[in-house]
Structure 1
């Protein structure tokens, strides 16, 4: 669980800020907040922490690092692949102590506000790390913002969408995917009646997958502008009530001990017709008997709530620069290189991940059905609330959401309990 900044951490932050400011005042090209006058003359050794899959994705990034070193022969990059599940704590420990932090880190988009609030990562506005910002998709670009400044550059992106089995839909006489949660419930009833042994969906009890319901009602976890916890607002209650209705009427019974694996197995074997899922699941889906014909997998935005807008959280990874780096200019150049349109095209073609730049969606890239399927869905993506504590908020919400789905507490009581815990994490916020 993420916790508030400690006294020790605050002392480290002050020291870190002084180090970063000292580097920025240097006369050499390696430091400073702006762009180097002569990028080709920038020199130094960088450490880059990459959190991509070590077996399937990392080779692409390693090859790009070699290309970068060829372009900037005076810069040496120490590439390190760090496990995604442990990188947060490793980076925070290194940044807090001022020892061993990488110059550039690939980070989950949801961590940008926390790292920025702790002064672990550098603001990038006006630096060489940012090139042609108008080329970035709005959703991924928004994930880099905290309190009016930019602290990252979008690398790869994703969101949640509706994946569905076209053959099951055809058997049920359904001609288009549902566009609202009510339509999803109705379609599920039709599927159950006309395609024996098949359920409409399987609900993921992870609180992250609750966000489309919340966003679709105009709800969110908190309102930073008003300094108010909103997870138990009337709109949020309506959203979670809708989620429980979908689960109770249209979903297979959740095995809470291994919900994700059972959800995936049910979908790829044709036991459920549709899932709220992300592009990361597609390679697994296509290994199943239901999708021997890859064209049988359909893609659509998440259903909408009463606002009429299908909205899902923007996910993915940004590149961030360690504020205490002694080679800021070199770090900026590496960040720009790895997030350029050319690099993103290479990454998309090799790894099948979604680019964050519009220009990277070339005909060759969109020939990949997974990328082509999720590209329009990205228009429905919006960032999570930009709070340093946002990751920690999911813990009490998940605990209560599971109780709600299990029928152990009412929607209102569960959300009120979550809001009370939110208040402890956000002590200056009003709790309804």
Structure 2
């Protein structure tokens, strides 16, 4: 997927989620003891809603076959579900108590919302969460809500600095920048020496987060119920992004579909650097600039100082429906699908990034893209784990593009964004400094 957030969420859902309650709890199913003590005796049918794309289907079908060979008394009903429709479809089924799957491939941005509505089964102490210490910290943080583990990380992603090595060489630049000041200077040097734009920014709020994080800022302080997107640190990060545009080293952000515009310019060699995720690299390699795949450089995002950069985490978790009547079978299925062996298989077959440390095997790391993004994951962080976090980005996108196009100053834009969140979505939060 293009971003680690769901854009299908409806504005206002966050405020409703706090008071909504889950319907149709159904049978409690197994308590997990049978799956732990005598997994071979577990029977039942696991209905799995798979929100991956059609091209990934065959690899998951192969894993299902392997699972059923290991557990012949368990049948898996594999149901492909459109990613764009899955969030609301699951809510509708869970609320009515009819038709919800036993297991759902859940975007990390949905997990807290589903848990808040009491639709997800806590997984601590079950075999679904096998060898929990093997999971990377960032992806594991996306699977927790209010002290409980309500998902098991399936795949992950983050943002990194992608750059054109040939343009760097032509400009006499030996290595990628590690700070935003270096990034700006690198972009200027490339523009001056090659005539090619140093960068182009995607004017979506999600892609602004490395600028916020790099200055020590964030969207929210969840523990203290405070909106911090307009803090001095966050504003400084947005000022850095705006300076890239105002200085002329970045192409002007597009007013519509900024992602595609940025991506096309990069793969065609019209810009030297972009901030993007691992999902974009297959498209990069289809462009004129990266016919030689070795020309694509990947490095962690810069920060205010070297080693201080950070980027948001995306990806998906496996979650178990609280009303499932096949919990023991569901736990075993999730355990199998998130094992290091299964993650190594999907990483090599589909190009996904594993969530387990032990899945980064020699075979997986033979791919330079995965090796580079593994390093980038070391400085990634989970977005605020609150219900409806995707709703925040609707307004974020609107205000960030106004800043980049000079319609609002960074402080004006972030102050207006904070007020918008407070009035519509986060009524029980206070604004930083208030």
Give TM-score, length-normalised by structure 2.
Answer: 0.93
Are the equivalent residues in 1 in contact too, given 2:180–2:302 (CA < 8 A)? yes
* Residue-by-residue CA offset, 1:310-333 (whole Å, 9 max, x unaligned): 100111111111111111111111
* Secondary structure of 1:45 counterpart: strand
* 1:70 paired residue number: 69
* 1:40 paired residue number: 40
Are the equivalent residues in 2 in contact too, given 1:129–1:336 (CA < 8 A)? yes
* Corresponding position: 1:137 with 2:139: no
Q: 2:154, 2:300 → 1: CA distance?
A: 22
Are the equivalent residues in 2 in contact too, given 1:35–1:126 (CA < 8 A)? no
Check 1:220–1:35 CA distance in 2 against 1; reply closer, same or farther (3 A cut): farther
Are the equivalent residues in 2 in contact too, given 1:217–1:307 (CA < 8 A)? no
- Specify every segment of 5 or more residues in structure 1 that has no aligned partner in the other structure, as ranges: 24-29
How many residues align structurally?
419
* 1:26 paired residue number: none
Structure 1 residue 285: deviation in Å?
A: 0.2
* 1:10 paired residue number: 20
* Corresponding position: 1:128 with 2:127: yes
Q: How does 1:220-299 map to 2 (within 5 A)?
A: 220-249=218-247, 250-299=249-298
Query: Which range moves more in the overlay, 87-96 or 252-261?
Result: 252-261
Q: 2:14, 2:167 → 1: CA distance?
A: 48
Q: 1:169, 1:213 → 2: CA distance?
A: 22
Structure 1 residue 144: deviation in Å?
A: 0.7
Check 1:38–1:289 CA distance in 2 against 1; reply closer, same or farther (3 A cut): same
Check 1:381–1:326 CA distance in 2 against 1; reply closer, same or farther (3 A cut): same
Structure 1 residue 248: deviation in Å?
A: 2.5
Are the equivalent residues in 2 in contact too, given 1:94–1:100 (CA < 8 A)? yes
* 2:114 paired residue number: 115
Check 1:67–1:404 CA distance in 2 against 1; reply closer, same or farther (3 A cut): same
Give TM-score, length-normalised by structure 1.
Answer: 0.93
Structure 1 residue 247: deviation in Å?
A: 2.7
C-alpha RMSD over aligned residues: 1.7
* 1:27 paired residue number: none
Q: 2:17, 2:56 → 1: CA distance?
A: 39
Are the equivalent residues in 1 in contact too, given 2:162–2:275 (CA < 8 A)? yes
* Corresponding position: 1:202 with 2:200: yes
* Residue-by-residue CA offset, 1:46-82 (whole Å, 9 max, x unaligned): 110111111x211100111111111111111110111
Q: 1:186, 1:339 → 2: CA distance?
A: 43
Q: 1:395, 1:8 → 2: CA distance?
A: 19
* 1:100 paired residue number: 99
Higher relative contact order, chain-length normalized (CA < 8 Å, sep 6+): 2
Q: How does 1:17-416 map to 2 (within 5 A)?
A: 17=25, 19=26, 22-23=27-28, 31-34=30-33, 36=35, 37-54=37-54, 56-196=55-195, 198-249=196-247, 250-305=249-304, 309-416=308-415
Are the equivalent residues in 1 in contact too, given 2:229–2:414 (CA < 8 A)? yes
Check 1:371–1:312 CA distance in 2 against 1; reply closer, same or farther (3 A cut): same
Structure 1 residue 307: deviation in Å?
A: 8.4
Are the equivalent residues in 2 in contact too, given 1:5–1:118 (CA < 8 A)? no
Are the equivalent residues in 2 in contact too, given 1:35–1:127 (CA < 8 A)? no
* Residue-by-residue CA offset, 1:299-354 (whole Å, 9 max, x unaligned): 10001125851100111111111111111111111111000011001101110111
* Secondary structure of 1:255 counterpart: coil
* Residue-by-residue CA offset, 1:115-138 (whole Å, 9 max, x unaligned): 111111111000110111121111
